[in-house]
A = this chain, B = another copy of it.
Amino acid sequence: MDLSLSELATYLGAEIRGDGSARVDGVAPLSSAGSSDVTFIADPAYRKQLDSTAAAAVIVGTNLADDVASAALVVEDAYLAFAKTTQLFDRRPRQPEGVHPRAIVEDGVVLGAGVRIGPGAVIGRNTHIGDGTEVGAGCVIGSDCRIGRDCLLFANVTLYYRVSIGDRVRVQSGAVIGSDGFGFAPNKGKWERIAQLGNVRIGNNVEIGANTCIDRGALEDTVIEDDVILDNLIQIAHNVHVGQGAAMAGCVGIAGSTHIGKGCTLAGGVGIAGHLTLADGVHALGMTLITNSIDEPGVYASGTSHMPAKQWRRSAARFKQLDSIAKRLQKLEKSQEGNA
């Protein structure tokens, strides 16, 4: 991939400063960009690297444009323009068009135009796959699934039966969608299984990370709305509903029937109990434990952060005395008033 700054400026809707005929063939950080790379600056903290960068041009917002001595592509949102630029230089290999001779396509499957099915993939009975969708090697798609157009399932993804996925959805390897929700009724020291009769419905433009699990619903469906992005190793339990545009980082776990509002962001390792509701625009910091519904948008956190273990042991021990500490403090305050 190789294009001129003018072509890139047109693609980005950028104002160009410098020689538009200069050509770029890659994207790189300010510090390591070469003379044929385009780079970007979004965070003013990196401003000092502007002078030393060897990049052919810098993608920059109007706020920092005047700090750029070299050629520049001036845009409204430099980070967004950078994101769009990376997509031009993506050299991800694709499966060839069509069905690999070593793939298995069962009866009643309907494949759209330009579908790509990799070696060893299995497409179950009566499943429909939309135009331009690619299914990687070793994927197993259950029967009666609906997968939209221009989706990308990387290798070794598993979809159970009757899973529905929208358009332009990307699923990383090892993800499992439609597995049985964890539903059991206690029965004299054993567990009676609740058959999971619901399905999973995933909207458009959704991203699902590697080894992430999304369980099917018990009676009704588990739902992931449009524009949701999920990182790796996330657990989405049965009947969870994730609102449009929500984002979750790695290792998040959400228990059954919890509703996550639109635009919520959950940092890594956040855990949310079941049957809760998070309002739109709730943001949780890393490893936050959420045990009650949250009605107010805003930033939430829990726990404590790292400290030397020796000091931590003392604090952790005192934590167990906190109620007594608080009560004794109240007692002192009272007697103080008495003295006054």
Q: Which residues of A contact B (CB under 8 A)?
A: 26-29, 32, 77, 79-80, 82-84, 86-87, 89-93, 102, 104, 118-120, 122, 124-125, 136-138, 140, 142-144, 154-156, 158, 160-161, 170, 172-174, 176, 179-180, 182-187, 189-197, 205, 207, 209-211, 213, 215, 218-220, 227, 229, 231-233, 235, 237, 244-245, 247, 249-251, 253, 255, 262-263, 267-269, 271, 273, 284-292, 294, 298-323, 325-326, 328-329, 332-333, 335-336, 339
Contact = CB atoms under 8 A, between A and B. Distances in A.
Contacts of A329: 325, 328-329, 332
B271 A290 contact: no
Contacts of A220: 29, 32
Contacts of A92: 161, 195
Given A93-B124, A102-B104, A142-B155, 8 more contacts: A83-B193, A138-B156, A154-B160, A156-B158, A172-B176, A174-B174, A189-B244, A300-B309
B271 A174 contact: no
B231 A232 contact: no
Quickly give the copy total for this chain.
3
A138 B122 contact: yes
A291 B306 contact: yes
A193 B229 CA distance: 10
A210 B174 CA distance: 10
B305 A289 contact: yes
Given A323-B318, A332-B336, A182 B209 contact: yes
A319 B335 contact: no
B194 A82 contact: yes
A307 to B, nearest CB: 5
